[in-house]
Structure 1
Amino acid sequence: MIEWFDDLKVGMRFKSESKTVSKEEILRFASEFDPQPFHLDDEAAKHTVLGGLAASGWHTAAIAMRLALSTKPFGPHPLFGAGVDGLRWMVPVRPGDTLHLEGEVTELIPSKSKPIGVARVKWTTFNQNGEAVYTFNPIGIVPRRPA
């Protein structure tokens, strides 16, 4: 059971539940946060490099964040971060795609002056075909076990 930074080990893996993305969700998110034609209009999207309606990358990122929360990689602690490296969108997310998230602890750095540590987890979001659609590597801040 993970409760503190000290319980994490390099190589630990996490896997989330699945989430199916609906066309309505794609349109709702895009209309508010990324109102570009390839996120809002089937016909306009066909004539872009995406070749059809696709979720905003930021929508995909928000879904990945929600899936990361569900895995509880830092136990009961929130997912505080100091930034993100390696953020990439590889494959468009389409209406009806079912996504899940997998993560692996790649680095653990205990603070020398504060009761925290930095945990690096490489997260990858996959669709129902096993294709990686999105990856990111946050700089997680996790409390250490009290002395």
Structure 2
Amino acid sequence: MGLSFEDMEVGSVIECGEHTFTREEIVEFAERFDPQPFHIDDAAAAASPFGGLIASGWHTCSVMMGLLVRNAFAGSTSMGSPGIDEIRWLQPVRVGDTIRMTNAILDKRVSQSKPDRGMVSTEWNGINQHGETVIIVRSKGLFGLRNPGARG
């Protein structure tokens, strides 16, 4: 069994990997899900306040979710999430940017109504190659307990 509720320590930070955004994937994602001109058209993007093509914030979130699941929660006792508390897009993600993701454990508690699982509050940070935080996501996740009743 992989990562479970008991393994998550408040204050710990999990390195989740990195991803480099290409022009092709930025445009492909945006054409399907967020077809704003500054995501799909080089000329329109150059004339926008961003001064060039940028990734959709939803694309950035999707990439981060993939990094989290593949590199941190693979084989874990994850039971999904009741939702996102906050998303902040702080800097645009541009063609060629490499975003490194970390996931900090902020808080956790065992469920009172379902003591075989617990709620874990986390903060995801996406940091570009210049050391700038480009996105922050605060969310909660449900994880099964390896040893229900032990109150990890």
Q: TM-score, normalised by structure 2?
A: 0.89
Aligned pairs (5 A) from 1:45-84 = 45-73=45-73, 76-78=76-78, 80-84=80-84
Q: Would the aligned equivalents of 2:15 and 2:102 in 1 still touch at CA under 8 Å?
A: yes
**Residue type of the alignment partner of 1:142:** F
**Counterpart Cα distance in 1 of 2:36 and 2:64:** 21
Q: Deviations over 1:26-57 (max 9, x none)?
A: 01001111111100111111222222110011
Question: Shift of residue 18 of structure 1?
Answer: 1.7
Report the equivalent of 1:120. Answer: 121
Identity of aligned residues (%): 38
Extract unaligned runs of 5+ from structure 2: none
**Counterpart Cα distance in 2 of 1:137 and 1:2:** 23
Q: Secondary structure at the match of 2:52?
A: coil
Aligned pairs (5 A) from 1:68-147 = 68-73=68-73, 76-78=76-78, 80-114=80-114, 115-147=116-148
Provide closer, same or farther for how the CA distance between residues 44 and 71 of structure 1 changes in structure 2, counting only shifts above 3 A: same
- Runs of 4 or more above 4 Å deviation: none
Q: Would the aligned equivalents of 2:16 and 2:72 in 1 still touch at CA under 8 Å?
A: no
Report the equivalent of 1:32. Answer: 32
- Provide the aligned C-alpha RMSD in A: 1.8
Query: In the comparison of the two structures, how many residue pairs are matched?
Result: 147
Q: TM-score, normalised by structure 1?
A: 0.92
**Counterpart Cα distance in 2 of 1:21 and 1:106:** 28
**Counterpart Cα distance in 1 of 2:39 and 2:106:** 34
**Counterpart Cα distance in 2 of 1:113 and 1:45:** 50
Q: Would the aligned equivalents of 1:17 and 1:70 in 2 still touch at CA under 8 Å?
A: no
